Amino acid sequence: MLHDPLAKRTVFQLENRNVPVAVRLWNGYEYQPPAGSLVNVNVHSRRALRALASPSLGSLARAYVEQQIDLDGDIRDILIIGEKLTDALADSDRTARPILAWVRQTRPATRKNVSHHYDIANDFYALWLDRRRVYSCAYFRNAGDTLEQAQEQKLDLICRKLMLKAGDRLLDIGCGWGGLAFWAAERYGALCHGITLSQHQFEYVKEQISARGVEGRVSVQLIDYRELPETGQFDKIASVGMFEHVGSANLRRYFGKIMALLKPGGLVINHGITAGAVDSTGVRSGVSEFIEDYVFPGGELVHIARVLEAASREGMECVDIESLRPHYAQTLWNWVDRLEANAEAARRIAGEQRFRVWRIYMAGSAHAFSRGWISIYQMLAGKPLPDGSLPYPYTRDHIYKA
């Protein structure tokens, strides 16, 4: 017999929602759904049972990461069933946290937040990223493209959108492990300067500059973009996967800084994750809070409409905008599959908790992109010349020609 009220409530939830989930409690009690199970949940304590009795996606993720519960099954099934069990179909979360976002995005806080996420051993990321270690949305021309192909296609897409040519000075804000800078220098002859706040990434890019023999063509600096001198020395600027750290309160300051760094007639591409709903500040069902605490401290999402408004108010002229939402879902599922295939090594390098954090975070993000809870856009804009003109082709032929 099942006497515990929380356990009864949990079983009621599972039966009422008709989900294929089997549960085994710490005391040996087992619940099996009549039609069989796709996912098995081992609950290690009564405290952990609360995550199932009153579930949200965020509380389930926390319980999994803290090893209060174990989840056995395909991660895609786990996410689908998790959504069915929770209030995830309600409106996007509107919590009090984003009101204080400016506190978390001061320069010292930003350095600490970036270090929290990126300064894990480089070998951990190498397990599941492509060989160029590009940690941002790939670009799939065909469903069967490999991750390596798709990331190279993304790097080339950015270069073509920016109309990069030999001798152009390119600033890469948040350069990661240098994938774009090396591609632009070696394939297009650009002079690339990458900046990052991650010590691990900085050291890796320095080593690669020497190993590739691109001294004088690629440079890297450990610096906040806000600290760069405003001398308007760059022909082109790329910000890829960094925008999520800026915060709504800093949008105009961010785009204003880019304008000060860019030459008149120059182009900038802003590639970043955005909120799915106009008034949303994050992801629904407690996921934003989970990401804040375990993954991206200080991150904040805004809708693309606010991005365009902030950029325009700083004098930028948007010339092209493209949604990559389905591309990021596919990118993330590639990362999850590769992480799971290297689970033993990932646990050895980063520990059990970090392995679980990245597994559930990336799978949850893939699910969120697929469902439209969040999105991602490449916005291409320019700094007009003094006469108001902005040289740019009439068509997109230069972007999409083979």
Query: Cα torsion at 223, 227, 233, 239 (round to 10°)?
Result: 60
User: Which pLDDT score, from 0 to 100, does residue 101 have?
Assistant: 41
pLDDT for the residue 116: 45
Its pTM stands at: 0.90
pLDDT values of the chain reduced to their tens digit, one per residue, 402 residues: 467 888 888 888 888 888 899 999 998 999 999 889 999 999 998 888 888 887 888 889 999 999 999 999 999 999 999 888 886 444 444 443 443 343 445 555 554 544 444 558 899 999 999 999 999 999 999 999 999 999 999 999 999 999 999 999 999 999 999 999 999 999 999 999 999 999 999 999 999 999 999 999 999 999 999 999 988 899 999 999 999 889 889 999 999 999 999 999 999 999 999 999 888 766 666 787 888 888 877 778 999 999 999 999 999 999 999 999 999 999 999 999 999 999 999 999 999 999 999 999 999 999 999 999 999 999 999 999 999 999 999 999 999 875
Q: Strand 374-382 to strand 317-323: parallel, antiparallel, or no bridges (unpaired)?
A: antiparallel
Distances (CA, A) of 359 to 127, 273, 352: 13, 19, 11
Helix (H) or strand (E) holding 84: helix 75-85
Residue type, 383: K
The ranges assigned to domains in the chain are 5-85, 97-400
For the beta sheet containing 39-43, the strands, ordered from the edge strand earlier in sequence to the opposite edge, are 30-31, 21-24, 39-43, 69-72
**Residue listed under structure tokens 């949940």:** 41
Distances (CA, A) of 296 to 188, 202, 287: 33, 19, 12
E strands present in 69-115: 69-72
C-alpha of 360 from chain center: 13
Q: Are 7 and 25 in contact (CB under 8 A)?
A: yes
AA letter at 15: E
Query: Residue-wise over 366-392: b if at least 16 C-beta within 10 A, else e?
Result: bbbbbbebbbbbbbbbbbeeeeeebee
For 248, the token pair is 């709504």
User: What is the distance in angstroms between the CA of the first residue and the CA of the last residue of the chain?
Assistant: 67
Residue with tokens 């297009």: 188
Task: Report CA 314 to chain centroid distance, whole Å.
Answer: 25
Give the residue among 22, 63, 21 at the shortest CA–CA distance from 46.
63
Distance from the Cα of residue 41 to its chain's centroid: 28
Residue type, 304: I
By DSSP bridging, strand 234-240 and strand 169-173 are parallel
Tokens 């959108």 belong to residue: 161
Q: Is the dihedral of CA 223, 227, 229, 233 positive or negative?
A: positive
pLDDT score at 50: 84
The CB-side HSE value for 13 (13 A sphere, CA atoms) comes to 24
Helix (H, G, I), strand (E, B), or coil: what is residue 170? strand
pLDDT value of residue 355: 96
β-bridge partners, 71: 41
Strand partners, 170: 192, 236
Taking CA atoms, 69 is separated from 49, 59, 161, in Å, by 8, 11, 46
Q: Is 374 helix (H, G, I), strand (E, B) or coil?
A: strand
Residue 55 contacts residue 13 (beta carbons within 8 Å): yes
- Give the per-residue pLDDT at 5: 83
- CB crowding 311-329: b at 16 or more within 10 Å, else e: beebebbeeeebebbebbb
Q: CA 204, CA 175: separation in Å to the nearest integer?
A: 11
CATH superfamily of 97-400: Vaccinia Virus protein VP39 (3.40.50.150)
So what's the pLDDT on residue 144?
Answer: 94
Task: Compute and round to an integer the Cα radius of gyration of the chain.
Answer: 23
3-class DSSP assignment, residue 221: strand
